[in-house]
Amino acid sequence: MTLTIAVDHGSTTAPYEQLRAQISERARSGRLPVGYKLPTVRGLAEQLGLAANTVAKAYKALEADGVIETRGRHGTFVAAAGDAATRRAATAAAQYAEEARRLGLTREAAEAALNEALRAAYDD
């Protein structure tokens, strides 16, 4: 399997964001399987005609999102997206619950606020 990325240098979207979005979408859709080894920062930068810092910025954002993971000198791989995403969601939920309690909201009011935010985010 070969990673094929297209960067539109004339786009108003920054190249690192185009790269981040394409890798993220492919990893989440399964077109890039968990464990797939991504090219090195320098290698991908050369391939795409980008600065190494641009690719490094995209990789850093993808790692923060839990889409990829760096394993030291072994390389950068597509992560098990569900694991990182689930952990981050659980952390955010716990923080929300604690903040709602601190604000004095009842459980019902906190759940209603959360449900409304989810409806808005998922466009239900």
Structure confidence by residue, pLDDT tens digits, 74-113: 999 998 765 666 767 777 888 899 899 999 999 999 999 9
* 32: pLDDT strictly greater than 80: yes
Indicate whether this model's pTM tops 0.75.
no
Task: Determine the CATH number of domain 13-76.
Answer: 1.10.10.10
Q: Where are the alpha helices (DSSP H) in the chain?
A: 15-29, 41-48, 52-64, 81-102, 107-122
Close Cβ partners of 27 (under 8 Å, ≥ 6 residues apart): 36, 67, 68, 78, 79, 81
Domain ranges across the chain: 13-76, 81-121
Which pLDDT belongs to residue 105?
Answer: 96
